[in-house]
Amino acid sequence: MPQPELTPTPAGPALAPRYRERPPATRRASCPGPGPRQPPTAPRNPYLRLFAVPGTRAFTAGNLIARLPMGMFGVSAVIMIATAYGSYALAGAVTATGMAAGALTAPWIARLVDRYGQARIAVPAAAHAVLGHLVLLLCVHAKAPAWALFVTVALTATSPNTGGMSRARWAHLLRGDRDALHTANAFEQAADELCFMLGPVVAALLCSTLFPEAGTLVAAVLFLGGVLAFAAQRSTEPPIAPRTATGSPLRVAGMAPLLVVFLATGAVFGSMEVVTLAYVDGPLAGPVLALQAAGSCAAGLLYGRSRRTARLRTCLAAMAVLMTLPLLAASTGSLPALAGGLLLAGMATAPTMVTGMALVQRLTPASQLNEGMTLAVTALLGGIAAGSATGGWAADHAPFAAFGFLIPVTAATLAATLCAATSKTTEPSTR
């Protein structure tokens, strides 16, 4: 008796092939039947192919809902505290404390996610963080002593890295398909830019039109609801990988130099934000600054359609060049010129971050992927904090109006130089 022949059926780009039985060959019928069915043609658009993979739309929707509040919490807290206490200095210090606490705890939360799974850790961690935001809201509403705000804001430091968990799912689903994974990373970076562009606008609108605590309340509901929806998609959750490495991903060759590059890159973003706000100094500051994120979002989507990727040192060199455009535009004193310069300068951001995160994924063992990506985000946040402080000092002590825009140019040049000096360890292979 002949054995049934197994033939593959069409499957998504990183899914294991499914099989069906082909019946044994039989004598041709007298009336020919229809010809063989052709497999469905895959969409030409790489983003459509990406979301043709089963389950990707559901987990992406939940993750985007959870990610939007990350751009809302900071602005909401500043407005809420400044309104109640009449001090932007106190509001800034409290939010900075929360950011610093989060930078310290984020790698530990990510390590637990790698060890025990996304749903098992992300949900209680998010619930604890939301509880911290609500306690902070109650303290502000009751005008508790200032020290109480610093204590309660530390409770919010358990927020899981939602962007990192989403990238880990793509890495699991698209393993072995570097082109599709490149497109997924580009989409994730564009989503980051969109959320951090819309989040502050939504927060400011809620706090100004409703009541000062509205931004924090809405952000807390969206964050917890989004994490619950994301964690419920168990079919796409990466399995817990056996631990093939011990210790921190910092010990992996090339990781420490790459994180230093991320630190310098974060200084570009932090300084550019502060010096732009100080230079424009008015209601147009937010929309003008948003153009940088808009340029990055557009460039990220275009970069994701490309089949070839640039090396990180090339992206950073391009960033160093493009960061001179806001400096030149500010020197003219023209606000439209500055807006155009920021739009063009932002186009270097997403390709740089996509390429950098791809390197983190390649260097980090699979069993520590969330922790590795969270370390990269922590380095970025540290650079953003340092860049913000340096940019603020430059804004207060600038010998001329455009002086502050030298800071992001210097930081981008430093990042490109560091990457070029360590490229043998940070970029061990090419495509």
Among 92-96, 97-101, 163-167, name the most confident range.
163-167
Compare 117 and 88 and report the one with higher pLDDT: 117
Q: Which of 73, 176, 53 is nearest to 126 (CA)?
A: 73
pLDDT of residue 126: 93
Compare 390 and 232 and report the one with higher pLDDT: 232
CA 259 to chain centre: 15
Q: Which two tokens stand for residue 428?
A: 């061990």
Protein fold of 55-240:
Growth Hormone; Chain: A; (1.20.1250)
Q: Which of 347, 344, 339, 341 is nearest to 326 (CA)?
A: 341
Do the two domains 55-240 and 249-431 of this chain adopt the same fold?
A: yes
Q: Which of 135, 149, 152, 163 is nearest to 69 (CA)?
A: 163
Q: Calculate what percentage of the chain has a pLDDT beyond 70.
A: 85
| Residue 166 clears pLDDT 80, i.e. is over it | yes
**339-368 pLDDT, tens digit each:** 899 999 988 888 888 888 888 878 887 777
> Half-sphere exposure of residue 386, counting CA atoms within 13 Å on the CB side?
17
| Residue 177 clears pLDDT 90, i.e. is over it | no
Q: Residue ranges of the domains in the chain?
A: 55-240, 249-431
**121-161 pLDDT, tens digit each:** 999 999 999 999 999 999 999 999 989 999 998 889 898 88
Q: Which two tokens stand for residue 25?
A: 């060959």
Q: Which of 180, 185, 380 is nearest to 270 (CA)?
A: 380
What span, in angstroms and rounded, lies between the C-alpha atoms of 393 and 397? 6
Domain 249-431 has CATH 1.20.1250.20: yes
> ∠ CA(253), CA(254), CA(258), 5° rounding?
150
Side chain identity, residue 142: A
Q: Which two tokens stand for residue 293?
A: 């994120």
Q: What is the largest CA-CA distance in the chain?
A: 93
Residue 20 — φ and ψ, nearest 5°? -135, 155
pLDDT of residue 136: 93
Confidence at 22, pLDDT banded by 50, 70, 90: very low
**363-389 pLDDT, tens digit each:** 887 777 777 778 888 888 888 878 877
Residue 233 contacts residue 62 (beta carbons within 8 Å)? yes
Contacts of 390 (CB under 8 A, 6+ apart): 267, 270, 271, 407
Q: Which two tokens stand for residue 109?
A: 């939360």
| Residue 29 clears pLDDT 50, i.e. is over it | no
> Half-sphere exposure of residue 107, counting CA atoms within 13 Å on the CB side?
14
Token look-up 């994924």 returns: 361
pLDDT of residue 123: 93
What span, in angstroms and rounded, lies between the C-alpha atoms of 51 and 388? 37
Q: Which of 304, 99, 266 is nearest to 185 (CA)?
A: 304
